[in-house]
């Protein structure tokens, strides 16, 4: 059920929508330091994996795999990190982050590096479209 789904304002303010998959909204984080996607299940009140039933959990796993492939296709990173924290924003969201040995945080985790510069609007729009196209291709392969 997605009728009463509302995106946390902090996620909405710091990312842009890329695609709507069966369970999750795929979003691009507006942080120019990293190729960073978010998967946000469109289910109200979901904070923990245990809030999902088995079918939704399996769907989330498939979407994480597809999002990882999307980041690999678009960014060609040295490594892709996948994490689900929820200490600041309780609403369930999964981070899929392309990492490069040359990035601003390497080899450390990105979490303690603060907010980075945002993309210029035109660059964000172009990158969002690249991710949207890759998302269409990789999700169709599921």
Architecture of domain 9-106+116-140: 2-Layer Sandwich (3.30)
Domain residue ranges of the chain, discontinuous segments joined by + = 9-106+116-140
Cβ 44 vs Cβ 5: under 8 Å? yes
> Residue-wise over 33-47: b if at least 16 C-beta within 10 A, else e?
bbbbbbbbbbbeebe
How many other CB atoms are found less than 10 A from the CB of residue 108? Answer: 10
Quote the CA–CA distance of 101 and 110 in Å, as a whole number: 13
pLDDT digits (tens, 9 = 90+) for 7-39: 999 999 999 999 999 999 999 999 999 999 999
Does the structure show a pLDDT above 60 at 2?
no
Q: What is the pLDDT of residue 3?
A: 61
pTM of the complete model beyond 0.75: yes
Q: What is the pLDDT of residue 1?
A: 45
Assign 142 a pLDDT band (cuts: 50, 70, 90): low
pLDDT digits (tens, 9 = 90+) for 45-91: 999 999 999 999 999 999 999 999 999 999 999 999 999 998 889 99
CA distances from 75 to 31, 53, 99, 118 (A): 14, 32, 9, 17
Assign 114 a pLDDT band (cuts: 50, 70, 90): confident
């Amino acid at each position: 059920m997605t009728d009463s789904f509302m995106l946390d304002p902090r996620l909405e303010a710091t990312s842009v929508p890329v695609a709507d998959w069966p369970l999750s909204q795929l979003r691009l984080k507006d942080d120019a330091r990293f190729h960073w996607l978010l998967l946000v299940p469109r289910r109200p009140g979901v904070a923990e994996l245990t809030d999902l039933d088995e079918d939704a959990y399996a769907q989330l796993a498939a979407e994480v795999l597809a999002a990882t492939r999307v980041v690999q296709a678009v960014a060609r990173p040295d490594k892709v990190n996948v994490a689900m924290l929820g200490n600041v924003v309780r609403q369930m969201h999964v981070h899929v982050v392309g990492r490069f040995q040359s990035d601003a945080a390497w080899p450390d985790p990105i979490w303690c590096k603060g907010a980075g510069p945002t993309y210029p609007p035109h660059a964000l729009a172009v990158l969002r479209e690249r991710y949207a196209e890759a998302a269409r291709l990789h999700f169709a392969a599921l």
